[in-house]
Amino acid sequence: MGHLEQAGLTVRDEVTEDMAALKQESGLPQNLTAGHTSFADGDVIEGHISAADVPRRLTEKPDIAGMPCRVCIGSPGMESGPDVEPDTVFSLADSGEPGALVEHS
């Protein structure tokens, strides 16, 4: 959350007891779940998403239901010195089908 706040985004932390149900209700495919789930304008944002990708999602408003991202070394919160793994932020269609949205390397 800190990197989102540092980028000027407003963040509200809400604790819930049943994250699995929340992820399922959002339409997030199980193979794209991660440890961090958030919502922006009703769309699910999952994983270690770059703070730069969130405002772009909100201003461009592509016709997608969410943005899941797997956890990679070098992604926000997973920094490990100079090591960086290539990273894909996926688009999530209303049907639950993922597609590549943004590639980071």
Domain boundary assignment for the chain: 2-104
Q: Does residue 105 carry a pLDDT above 70?
A: yes
Q: Burial of 21 by CB count in 10 Å (0-12 exposed, 13-18 middle, 19+ buried)? A: exposed
Q: Mean pLDDT score of the chain, rounded to an integer?
A: 80
- Residue 98 is predicted with a pLDDT of 82
Q: Does residue 54 carry a pLDDT above 70?
A: yes
Q: Does pTM surpass 0.75? A: no
Sign of the Cα pseudo-torsion (68, 72, 75, 77, in order): positive
pLDDT in tens, 23-46: 888 888 888 888 788 888 888 888
Q: How far apart are CA 40 and CA 97, in angstroms?
A: 19
